[in-house]
Structure 1
Amino acid sequence: MKKIEFTKEAKAAIVSRIRRYFETELDQPIGALPAEFLLDFFAEEIGAHYYNQGVRDAHAALSKKMEDLAEDIYLLERDEKNKAAGA
């Protein structure tokens, strides 16, 4: 799996959210650099778990769409009984 990388803007926004979480939920201030290190740690250590779940979710959604498409195609089939033979 390719390393998870964020744009500079996205990384800054995530770091800000980590800092806010530490302040509000843990009543513990955290600096920008430690928050960035924490983000990097999570991206490296558990990012693959989130990525793989996303792949599984995408696979399930695509499988469902393919089943729906197969059903729609089946409904387009015409009756193959020879109606002229009995006439």
Structure 2
Amino acid sequence: MATPSLLSESQLEQLAPQLQQYLSDQLGMEVGGFDARFLLDFVAEKIGRDIYNKALQDAQTALAARMESLQAAIWELEK
């Protein structure tokens, strides 16, 4: 039984042609639409979680820096 795709149908429709073009331009490989979708699903399954977690980590870092800045501004107002 096949697992459902991590990518939506619209994402696959948008990304598959881009992947096909990249493979053609960079590697000289001609890949059909079905194969491009299959490869996208594979990549999403294998590294999608790592990319998502990295994005969350980056967001937490940015938020923490912003909170420090706001905290410093509040301390300045208290003086």
TM range (shorter): 0.7 to 0.9
Moved over 6 A (4+): none
Q: How many residues align?
A: 75
Structure 2 unaligned spans of 5+: none
1:13-32 equivalent positions in 2, closer than 5 A: 13-32=14-33
Structure 1 unaligned spans of 5+: 79-87
Q: TM-score, normalised by structure 1?
A: 0.80
- The structure that has the greater radius of gyration is 1
Q: TM-score, normalised by structure 2?
A: 0.88
Please list the CA deviations of residues 14-63 of structure 1 after superposition, one character each: whole Å capped at 9, or x if unmatched: 00011001111111100000100000001111001100110000000000
Kindly, what percent of the aligned residue pairs are identical?
33
Cα root mean square deviation, aligned = 1.3
Higher helix share: 2
